Amino acid sequence: MSDQNPVFIPGPTNIPDALRKACDMPTLDHRSARFAEILHPALEGVKKVLKTETGQVVIFPATGTGGWEAAISNTLSPGDRVLASNFGMFSQKWIDMCTRHGLDVQAIDRPWGEGLPVAEFEAALRADTGHAIKAVLATHNETATGVVSDIAALRRAMDAAGHPALLLVDGVSSIGSMDFRMDDWGVDVALTGSQKGFMLPVGLAIVGLSPKALAAMETARLPRFFFDFRDMLAGYPGAGYPYTPPVGLLNGLATSCAMLLDEGLDNVFARHRHIAEGVRQAVRAWGLPICAASPDLYSDSVTAIVLPETVDGNAMVAHAASRYGTAFGAGLGKVAGKVFRIGHLGMLSEAQALCGIAVAEMALADYDVDITPGAGVAAAQAHYRANG
């Protein structure tokens, strides 16, 4: 019986041995000077991955959802209006969180499979002549549908509208896997988690803050304690934490950043795009639709595949796990049972991707989906051989 569980979900991702070992360390006095040798490289490494020279980084023991909560609770006040769009499970959850925090959400909904409606956001911002909208919320990569949105275009729209709102971006399944430019795109709060592009276990909420977000932090009136940026930032120069830090995970994060930067971020992004395109070629060979509405929306970290109406995608994913010991992503929310997802981010090679595609073909065949066995593998192989 194998203790290996091939993972093709969009996070948590496979953990390289070097990072597993970096996290597995003896107990360390987190008040000692030794902790500074872990914390400061982690903070500086994240800044480089985010491509920010002017921002600060805060790291909480949490997940990406904790990063969302920190983002809004540190920059906004009760009753503040935020502009958002529901076009997938995670953009929907962020809206729900804002509502529960007593914020006034102005939502522009789009069909799941489409991206952030930049033109409609610009129109809403132009119409807001009194600047009641205090923040714009954007999901860079919608993990449920495999859709990536154009954050640079959103920044241009905000600038064209002359609107001073903060730009808060969920980069949970994009940062570390796809190009993200915090400074160039004028992102005020960028958030992610340790278990995606950083290839670590679950447990860190990673948040980047612009100078504008730091200024907003001083006047924000939503309650926060565990997630208070001020307490975290006050302690960082002396390597202090307001509570016990996750030392092993932070050591892993410092090592992860070094690995990504040593490979070169452009090379990391190209590798993800290369692997992802092989998966997309396989899906085309199967004759199945991709959930993302158009190629310009295709994510390089996850592909959501639309199944025939006769197939329960979640049941098929469960079957692949029990019969073949391989994990794929189930459909979530409005697309539950209608799609299955192949995650292709983090530590993943051509050979590993081919393994996932082959298992997906067997699971599809077991559910009587009309595909030609081997067609997807052959299409991906052709892409990898021609473009490797």
pLDDT tens by residue, 215-261: 999 999 999 999 999 999 999 999 899 999 999 999 999 999 999 99
Say yes or no: do domains 7-11+265-387 and 17-262 share a fold: no
Given this model, what pLDDT does residue 388 score? 81
What letter would DSSP give residue 325?
-
Where along the chain do its domains lie? 7-11+265-387, 17-262
Instruction: Encode pLDDT of 33-61 as tens digits.
Output: 899 999 999 999 999 999 999 999 999 99
Pick from 270, 273, 281, 269: nearest CA to 357: 281
Note the CATH number of domain 7-11+265-387.
3.90.1150.10
Instruction: Encode pLDDT of 45-101 as tens digits.
Output: 999 999 999 999 999 999 999 999 999 999 999 999 999 999 999 999 999 999 999
- Residues 381, 354 contacting (CB under 8 angstroms): yes
Name the burial class of residue 24, with classes exposed (0-12), middle (13-18) and buried (19+) by CB atoms within 10 angstroms of its CB.
exposed
Backbone angles phi, psi at 372, to 5 degrees: -95, 115
371 DSSP β-pair partners: none
Given this model, what pLDDT does residue 1 score? 38
- Residues 174, 151 contacting (CB under 8 angstroms): no
Instruction: Encode pLDDT of 255-270 as tens digits.
Output: 999 999 999 999 999 9
Confidence at 31, pLDDT banded by 50, 70, 90: confident
Only one residue has tokens 């930049």, namely 118
- Of all residues in the chain, the percent with pLDDT exceeding 90 is 96
- Quote the mean pLDDT of the chain: 96
**In the chain, what is the greatest distance between 2 CA atoms, to the nearest angstrom?**
64
Instruction: Encode pLDDT of 175-203 as tens digits.
Output: 999 999 999 999 999 999 999 999 999 99
Using CA atoms, how far apart are residues 370 and 286, in angstroms rounded to an integer?
A: 8
CATH class of 17-262: alpha beta
Bridge-based pairing state of the strands 81-84 and 133-139? parallel
Structure-block tokens of residue 76: 């906004």
